[in-house]
């Protein structure tokens, strides 16, 4: 169901706590801003220098200083008085190291403010302490909004059945204009989109591609992303078939750079890059250990359906998957079409529509 602008009698002030603002989240917040008639505010810390964000946004954003107390983080000067005004709703990122999360839960207990948590659902955490944290976080709030269905399923495994009704999900996606159709005549380049730093998995991908080039020397890679300049220079010298394009934020430029790519791949632990590949009409290659990925988005990849899975940490396995798509044009195009279809499914209804449907229930 698509949410149109909320009627005046349904308006509540929505406060969204975010660690810091990033470019990929801005369209999501702009969408919420429009559909709540501006009754929306993001509360976050200052964006780190190695992350990109726009200079100007249309939604209200309050950037606060943050203090670290041992292993905990504390937002300074949160406007609690304004938040307590009813009707209001708080959505807080589900990082238990932030004191504001506990303050939000307490606010829920002593006022009419509605409170939801938003996060990965602890799919990487299985201990008793983790189960207790998630039990009480769901019990004492209006609900937990997971990043996708995989996270919701994993969270429900930690909870008694009577709390399952308070577990929701909005498939984590990117606000992108996808390609109109796949490039059925793609070349032999592999796409990589992401931050470039040691242990990001790019070296594993380059090693796998170098191995694959022993059988097909036409294979190359197009790399979009920023990172440590010295590290990037070292990689470019070592791997002559790798083309580094730096940080690119214009979507049309990215489409142009990667229009002839064979597939999108991630040699290490992936996240939202998976969604970006799908929007470009590229089959996705990621490793098969879902719980070890950086985020839950690789759950969207179905082996031999819209992408291929390789054995985690196995360069030879990744190399074989690259060659498989390079050698089988029919398979590549079938997976590419399915990947683009998956993006369309994730994109509609939008994340904002799904979120607002949840808090209106």
DSSP secondary structure letters along 121-181: TTTT--SHHHHHHHHHHHHTSSEEEESSHHHHHHHHTTS-GGGGGGEEE----------SS
What residues are paired with 43 via a beta bridge?
17, 62
Do 74 and 43 lie in a common domain?
yes
CA distance 294 to 6: 35
Residue 112 clears pLDDT 50, i.e. is over it? yes
CA distance 261 to 283: 10
The answer as to whether 1 is a domain residue is: no
Do 227 and 209 lie in a common domain?
yes
**Which pLDDT score, from 0 to 100, does residue 49 have?**
67
Mean pLDDT, rounded, for 153-175: 97
CA distance 284 to 304: 10
The number of beta carbons lying within 10 Å of the beta carbon of residue 339 is 29
CATH of the domain at 76: 3.40.50.2000
List, for residues 78-92, the tens digit of each pLDDT value: 999 999 877 899 999
The answer as to whether 297 is a domain residue is: yes
List, for residues 221-256, the tens digit of each pLDDT value: 999 999 989 999 999 999 999 999 999 989 999 999
What residues are paired with 73 via a beta bridge?
68, 98
Position 191 confidence tier, pLDDT thresholds 50, 70, 90: very high
Position 9 confidence tier, pLDDT thresholds 50, 70, 90: very low
Position 68 confidence tier, pLDDT thresholds 50, 70, 90: very high
**Which pLDDT score, from 0 to 100, does residue 283 have?**
99
The number of beta carbons lying within 10 Å of the beta carbon of residue 342 is 21
Residue 7 clears pLDDT 50, i.e. is over it? no
Do 108 and 200 lie in a common domain?
no
Q: What is the CA radius of gyration of the chain?
A: 21
Name the residue range of residue 235's domain. 189-346
The answer as to whether 8 is a domain residue is: no
Mean pLDDT, rounded, for 202-218: 98
Position 113 confidence tier, pLDDT thresholds 50, 70, 90: very high
Position 331 confidence tier, pLDDT thresholds 50, 70, 90: very high
Residues present in the chain in total: 361
List, for residues 301-326, the tens digit of each pLDDT value: 999 999 999 999 999 999 999 999 99
Do 217 and 122 lie in a common domain?
no
The answer as to whether 333 is a domain residue is: yes
**Which pLDDT score, from 0 to 100, does residue 236 have?**
95
The answer as to whether 178 is a domain residue is: no
Do 198 and 85 lie in a common domain?
no
Do 44 and 154 lie in a common domain?
yes
CA distance 196 to 219: 20
Q: Of 44-58, 134-148, 245-259, 261-275, where does mean pLDDT reach its minimum?
A: 44-58
Do 294 and 258 lie in a common domain?
yes
Do 274 and 127 lie in a common domain?
no
The answer as to whether 143 is a domain residue is: yes
CA distance 30 to 58: 7
Look at residues 34, 42, 29, 28 and name the one whose alpha carbon lies nearest to residue 175: 28
Do 258 and 138 lie in a common domain?
no
The answer as to whether 179 is a domain residue is: no
- Look at phi and psi of residue 219 and say left if phi exceeds 0, alpha if psi is from -120 to 50, else beta: beta
Contact yes or no for 328/7 (Cβ under 8 A): no
- 69, with CB counted inside 10 A (0-12, 13-18, 19+), is exposed
Residue 11 clears pLDDT 90, i.e. is over it? no
Mean pLDDT, rounded, for 56-76: 93
Do 79 and 130 lie in a common domain?
yes
Contact yes or no for 160/136 (Cβ under 8 A): no
**Which pLDDT score, from 0 to 100, does residue 12 have?**
83
CA distance 217 to 17: 49
DSSP string, 224-247: E--B-HHHHHHHHHH-TTEEE---
The answer as to whether 6 is a domain residue is: no
**Which pLDDT score, from 0 to 100, does residue 37 have?**
93
Do 128 and 200 lie in a common domain?
no
Do 127 and 55 lie in a common domain?
yes
What is the percent of the chain where pLDDT is above 70? 95
Total number of domains in the chain:
2
Tell me, yes or no, if the pTM score tops 0.75: yes
């Amino acid at each position: 169901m698509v949410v149109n602008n909320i009627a005046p009698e349904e308006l509540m002030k929505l406060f969204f706590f975010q660690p810091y603002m990033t470019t990929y989240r801005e369209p999501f917040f702009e969408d919420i801003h429009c559909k709540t008639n501006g009754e929306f505010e993001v509360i976050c810390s200052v964006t780190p220098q190695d992350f990109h964000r726009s200079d100007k946004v249309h939604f209200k954003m309050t950037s606060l200083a943050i203090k670290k107390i041992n292993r905990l983080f504390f937002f300074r000067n949160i406007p609690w008085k304004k938040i307590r005004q009813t009707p209001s709703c708080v959505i807080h990122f589900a990082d238990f190291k932030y004191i504001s999360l506990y303050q939000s839960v307490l606010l829920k207990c002593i006022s009419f403010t509605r409170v939801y948590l938003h996060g990965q659902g602890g799919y990487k955490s299985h201990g008793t302490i983790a189960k207790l944290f998630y039990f009480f976080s769901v019990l004492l709030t209006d609900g937990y909004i997971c990043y996708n269905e995989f996270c919701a399923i994993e969270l429900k495994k930690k909870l008694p059945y009577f709390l399952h009704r308070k577990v929701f999900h909005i498939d984590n996606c990117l606000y992108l204009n996808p390609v109109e159709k796949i490039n059925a005549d793609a070349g032999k380049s592999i796409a990589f989109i992401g931050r470039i730093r040691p242990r990001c998995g790019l070296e594993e991908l380059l090693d796998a591609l170098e191995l694959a080039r022993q059988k097909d020397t036409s294979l190359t890679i197009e790399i979009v992303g920023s990172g440590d300049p010295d590290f990037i220079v070292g990689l470019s010298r070592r791997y002559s078939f790798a083309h580094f394009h730096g940080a690119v934020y214009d979507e049309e430029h990215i489409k142009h750079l990667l229009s002839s790519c064979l597939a999108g791949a991630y040699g290490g632990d992936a996240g939202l890059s998976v969604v970006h590949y799908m929007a470009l009409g590229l089959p996705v290659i990621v490793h098969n250990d879902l719980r070890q990925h950086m985020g839950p988005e690789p759950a969207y990849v179905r082996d031999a359906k819209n992408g291929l899975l390789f054995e985690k940490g196995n360069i030879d396995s990744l190399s074989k998957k690259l060659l498989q798509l390079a050698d089988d044009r029919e398979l590549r195009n079938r997976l590419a079409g399915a990947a683009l279809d998956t993006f369309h499914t994730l994109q509609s209804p939008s994340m904002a529509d799904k979120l607002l449907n949840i808090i209106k229930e």
